Amino acid sequence: MSIWETICDPFEKSDSVQHDQVWYNGIVNETMVKGIFISFEGLDGSGKSTQISRVRSFLESCGRRVVMVREPGGTVISEKIREIILDVGNRGMAPAAEALLYAASRAQLTAEVIRPSLDAGMDVVCDRYVDSSLAYQGWGRQLGFEQVLEINRLSVNGTFPDITFLLDIPPEEAMRRTSGKGRADRIEEEAPEFHRRVYEGFNRLAALYAGRYRVIDGTGLPGEVSRQIQQILKKELIKRRGGV
Ligand code: TYD
């Protein structure tokens, strides 16, 4: 069995409703439905922020409790790590150090916010998660998917998204959209070639993890993009019998 097969398994979840079963003396005593973990991925400028806030409104209109987080960041400790990562003064940062810092920020966010929220039945909508590390550090920085996933196994501790929306826009369009946005951070200011590799990385991940990835054409009008996302989420809610 290749390392891929052994480390990819946790990503591919079954279609069944997830339950946390609490056992007392060998008898299932209590069953609690977990929240849905949704992540958004894509290049800078792919329109994630707009879509994420629409998803929140949609889920809340379905009577669900929603927690929104972003990576890197989302906790006091993770935001401090974010400052180090994105600081343009840290141009000399080694790719491995970068990957480990993203993983450290993620470890804190997962332990402090994501895992407890899901366990309490809340949905979590995350602006980037482990796939960003695979695409940016694994493919963009050329550390390799396997190595970056290995680092992140400790950070996520078995917590993987149920659904990952990849907002697909060509790298040239992404760079055009971000160029007028003001000061670029350390990752944004990378050469076009880097962003093209990241794009390729996301496409490969979408093929590898086809079970959880939903690739959406991000070049469409925001209303059309959110209509597609909501349709997918409606199906997911019905499947989970939470209902809409
Ligand atoms: P941010 O301003 O949050 O970008 P965006 O709003 O587009 O998500 O900056 C995060 C940057 O860090 C972004 O360029 C993507 C990059 N990144 C990685 O390289 N690896 C990671 O694991 C994550 C989470 C983000």
Q: Are 45 and 178 in contact (CB under 8 A)?
A: yes
- Alpha-carbon distance 118 to 159, whole Å? 10
Q: Are 35 and 122 in contact (CB under 8 A)?
A: yes
Of residues 180 and 143, more confidence is placed in: 143
| 3-class DSSP assignment, residue 181 | coil
Q: Cα torsion for 43, 44, 45, 47, to the nearest 10°?
A: 70
Q: What does the pLDDT average to over 188-194?
A: 92
Q: What does the pLDDT average to over 176-194?
A: 87
Q: Which of 68, 104, 111, 113 is nearest to 83 (CA)?
A: 104
pLDDT of residue 62: 94
Place of tokens 């840290």: 90
Q: Cα torsion for 190, 198, 42, 3, to the nearest 10°?
A: -140
The alpha-carbon radius of gyration of the chain (Å, integer) is 18
pLDDT of residue 181: 75
- Structure confidence by residue, pLDDT tens digits, 11-53: 343 333 333 333 333 333 345 688 999 999 999 999 999 999 9
Q: Is the model's pLDDT at 188 over the cut of 70?
A: yes
**Is 201's C-beta closer than 6 angstroms to any atom of ligand 1?**
no
Name the residue with the closest Cα to ligand 1, atom 19. Answer: 136
Q: Which of 187, 188, 198 to mutate to test the pocket of ligand 1 (most atoms within 8 A of CB)?
A: 187
pLDDT of residue 13: 39
Q: Are 216 and 48 in contact (CB under 8 A)?
A: no
**In this structure, what token pair is assigned to residue 68?**
């929104």
- Structure confidence by residue, pLDDT tens digits, 78-88: 999 999 999 99
φ, ψ of residue 50 to 5 degrees: the values are -60, -45
Delineate the domains of the chain, giving CATH numbers in brackets: 3-239 (3.40.50.300)
**Is 195's C-beta closer than 6 angstroms to any atom of ligand 1?**
no
- Structure confidence by residue, pLDDT tens digits, 103-121: 999 999 999 999 999 999 9
Nearest-atom number in ligand 1 for the CA of 129 is 24
**Is 199's C-beta closer than 6 angstroms to any atom of ligand 1?**
no
- Alpha-carbon distance 197 to 213, whole Å? 19
Q: Is the model's pLDDT at 242 over the cut of 50?
A: yes
Q: Where are the alpha helices (DSSP H) in the chain?
A: 3-8, 48-61, 76-86, 95-109, 115-119, 130-132, 145-156, 171-179, 192-208, 222-239
